[in-house]
Structure 1
C-alpha cells in the first residue's frame, strides 16, 4: 500500500476545448449514474453543469441510484445492455466488473490531448483494483479518509469530555473511546454507530498498530498479528457491551446520519460524505475528530474509500463519455464538486484549499491530515469477491453472534483460500 498522495503531480489538469461531440455538431446525450444522499447529488450536479458549460454539444443527465442495491442494479443493467454511459463503481466492486468486459479501457484516452485529466496526476496508491495489467478501467473520483463525527451539543448537554479534549491531551485512544461511549449510554443515548466495510475494519486494526494483510506480498496475516487481534477483541467487546451499535442491527429505514442529526447518537464514522448533509442542518453542532489511536502516535493510518468513474464499453457515445469522465475527475471537476461544503476531498494534489477554506467544520484539517497518512483499498479489492466475503463474516461479529477469535479464524480460512486461488497457487 502507498500513502494516497505520495508522488502526486502538482500540475493542473489539461483542459480540452473541443466539443467532444460525434463530430457532426449534433448534440450528444449521455447518462451518468452514481449513489449518494440528496446533498451529495447536488454536489455531483455542479461538475455535470461545469462540463456542459465547457462542452455545449454534450448533454449529461444525472440519474441517481440508491446506494442500497446499487451494484446489483448496475450489474443487471450491464448484463442487459441498459447501463448508463458513465457510472460510479465502488473500490470493492470494480475488480469483478472489470472481469465482465463491460468497462471501457481508459489509458489511451487519458494520455491523449482530449483528456482533462492525465494518469500521472493521481497517486499510484489510489488506483487500487481499477488498474489491471497496467490498463486503467476506472478513474478515482476523489477520496474520503475515514474519521469520526461527534455531536458537540450532545457532549455538552451530558457534561462529557469531548474527543477533541482527549486528543489535545494526547489521550484519544481505545480507553477514551470506551469511556465516552459508556457515558453516552449512561445518558440514554447510543455511543457510536459502527458500520461494516473494509475502511472501518482496517482503520480499527491500524489504530492499534496491527495489520490485516502483508503490504508487500498481499497475504492475509491478521491471524498471526497480536496487535490486529487485540483490535478485533476491542471491537467485539464494544459490540457486546452495547457501546457500539451496528448499522446492520438498526430498524429498517433508520440510518446513522439520521440518528446523528436527531441527537440519538454521539459519534458516527464516515468520510466527508456526511458533511454537506450535516451542514444543511443548522441546529446541529458537530465536528471532526481523528480515528482514536491506540499506539504512541497521536494518529495512525486510516482506510480511504474511493469510488471510480467508469465508462460503459457498450456506450454509443464512448468518446464523449470518456471526455466527461476525464473532466469530472480532473482538477476542474474536483474543484466544481469539492469547493466549499463538498462530499469528499481531492485525489489530485494542489487544490486542498477548495476544502480547507470553508472552515467547515472547525477542525476541517483533520480530514486532510488523514489523507496524508491513509491508504486506499489496494489489496483486498484486487481479489474479486473478497470484500463481500469479509463483510459477511464481520457482519456476524457486529451482530454479536461471533466472538473475535472465531471471526478471525473464518476470515483467515476464506481470505487465504481466495488469495491462493487468485495467485494460481
Structure 2
C-alpha cells in the first residue's frame, strides 16, 4: 500500500513537472475568413501541436483595419503576443520601438537565409542590420491582367503591354465606345501607392534613397509619375475616388481592357466569363519590370518568455512542406512557391520571374506617414498638377519626418 502511494505521488510529481514544462504560445494573425484562420492554416497549427506535444498554440485573429493598432496597444500594455504576422510595411516601426526580436542568430543557426526566400520579401524584414521577421507569404503589384478579346478586336499585341510606350499606345487604341484602356485608380489607399511605386521602381526611381531621404523628386521617379499622368486619360472617370476593387468590377463586366492587380486576382478571374491573360508589369523598353512586394512576415515579440519555442513555430510555418499549405497569397519560401504556383496559378514561371524581380516598399519607421504623403502626391499627379513641383513638395514633407 505504501509502495502504491509512493508510486502515485511520484506519478503526480512527474505529471506536475510535465505540466510546468508545457508552453502556450500566443499567435496573432490577420483575420482571413469570418471564422478567423483559413481552414488550411488552422490545419497547420494543429499539425504543429501534434509534432510538438509540449507546445500549445493559442490563436487570435484580428481584422486588418484594426490589427496594427491592436498590436501596438498590446505592446504598450505589456501584453504582446509571442508571435504575430506583421504586414511588411509595419516591420520597421516595430523594430525601431524594440518590440520585436532580432532573429538573425536563430535564422543563421537554422540555416534559413535570403537564398531560400524571395529576396525582396526577405529584405522587407531587414532593418538597421537586424532581421525582424521571416517572410511568410507574398504577392506582387502589379501584373497587367488583360481582356484578350478586347485586345484582339483593337489589334493590340499583348507583349506590347510590358513597355511604357507600348502600354500607352495600346491604351489609346482600347479606349472608346464605352470601353477603357487601363484600370488606373487614385483613391487614398495602399493599392494606389503600390501600383504607382511599381512604375517608379521599373523606371529606376526610388521612394526613399539609401540614406533615408526622399527619392520621389529624382528624375526617374518624376518621369514615371509624368508617364502615369499621361496614361490617366485612358482610365475610367473618377480616378481620384476609384480603387482597385472598382477596376475589378469594370474588368469583369467587359468594359476595361487592362487591370493592374497582384496574382491573387487569378482565382476570381478563373470563375468569370472573361477571356483573360496577364503580363509582368510595365517598364521602359529594355528594362525588366519591377513590381512592388506585398505580404506578411512572422515575427517574435521581444517580451516573449518563450522565444525558442516561438522560433520553432516560425521555422515550421515557413518549412517547404508546410508553407504552401498555409498561405492565402503565395508562399515566401521559394521552393514551396514553385509547387504552389504550379498547382494553383496560370503561367507559374512568369509569376516566379516577377516575384524574383520585385522590390519591397521603403523600410521606414514612419512608413504610414510616408504612404499618406504619397497618396496625396499621386492624387495631385492624377489631377494634372506639375509633377516636379508636386514631388518637391512631397519630399519636403517626407524629409521633415526624420
Look up the match of 2:392: 409
1:397 maps onto 2:397 in alignment: no
Look up the match of 1:353: 338
CA distance in structure 2 between the aligned counterparts of 1:49 and 1:187, rounded to whole angstroms: 54
C-alpha contact (below 8 Å) 1:220/1:415 kept by paired residues: yes
Look up the match of 1:313: 302
The verdict on how the C-alpha distance between 1:133 and 1:230 changes in structure 2, with shifts beyond 3 A counting, is closer
C-alpha contact (below 8 Å) 1:41/1:64 kept by paired residues: no
Structure holding more helix per residue:
2
The verdict on how the C-alpha distance between 1:131 and 1:219 changes in structure 2, with shifts beyond 3 A counting, is same
Look up the match of 1:275: 266
User: How far does residue 410 in structure 1 lie from its aligned partner after superposition?
Assistant: 1.8
Look up the match of 2:241: 249
Q: Deviations over 1:230-288 (max 9, x none)?
A: 2111212333x25167886138x955545544556443333333334444x35454333
1:369 maps onto 2:353 in alignment: yes
User: How far does residue 409 in structure 1 lie from its aligned partner after superposition?
Assistant: 1.2
The verdict on how the C-alpha distance between 1:245 and 1:413 changes in structure 2, with shifts beyond 3 A counting, is farther
The verdict on how the C-alpha distance between 1:153 and 1:77 changes in structure 2, with shifts beyond 3 A counting, is farther
Q: Deviations over 1:371-392 (max 9, x none)?
A: 2333233xx3135345334434
The verdict on how the C-alpha distance between 1:316 and 1:260 changes in structure 2, with shifts beyond 3 A counting, is farther
C-alpha contact (below 8 Å) 1:236/1:403 kept by paired residues: no
217, 224, 246: which is aligned to 1:223? 217
User: How far does residue 395 in structure 1 lie from its aligned partner after superposition?
Assistant: 4.6
The verdict on how the C-alpha distance between 1:269 and 1:119 changes in structure 2, with shifts beyond 3 A counting, is same
User: TM-score when scaled to structure 2?
Assistant: 0.76
CA distance in structure 1 between the aligned counterparts of 2:22 and 2:331, rounded to whole angstroms: 35
Look up the match of 1:295: 285
Look up the match of 2:83: 86
The answer for unaligned runs of 5 or more in structure 2 is 1-17
- Residue correspondences, number: 378
C-alpha contact (below 8 Å) 2:119/2:356 kept by paired residues: no
C-alpha contact (below 8 Å) 1:219/1:416 kept by paired residues: yes
**What SS does structure 2 have at the residue aligned with 1:159?**
helix
* Structure 1, 63-72 or 86-95: larger mean CA deviation: 63-72
**What SS does structure 2 have at the residue aligned with 1:145?**
strand
The verdict on how the C-alpha distance between 1:405 and 1:187 changes in structure 2, with shifts beyond 3 A counting, is same
Look up the match of 2:229: 236
The verdict on how the C-alpha distance between 1:134 and 1:142 changes in structure 2, with shifts beyond 3 A counting, is same
145, 159, 163: which is aligned to 1:150? 145
The verdict on how the C-alpha distance between 1:223 and 1:324 changes in structure 2, with shifts beyond 3 A counting, is same
Q: Deviations over 1:52-74 (max 9, x none)?
A: 44334444455443333432343
30, 36, 46: which is aligned to 1:34? 30
Look up the match of 2:364: 382
1:343 maps onto 2:329 in alignment: yes
**What SS does structure 1 have at the residue aligned with 2:138?**
coil
C-alpha contact (below 8 Å) 1:272/1:345 kept by paired residues: no
C-alpha contact (below 8 Å) 2:370/2:398 kept by paired residues: no
The answer for unaligned runs of 5 or more in structure 1 is 1-21
Look up the match of 1:210: 204
The verdict on how the C-alpha distance between 1:40 and 1:28 changes in structure 2, with shifts beyond 3 A counting, is closer
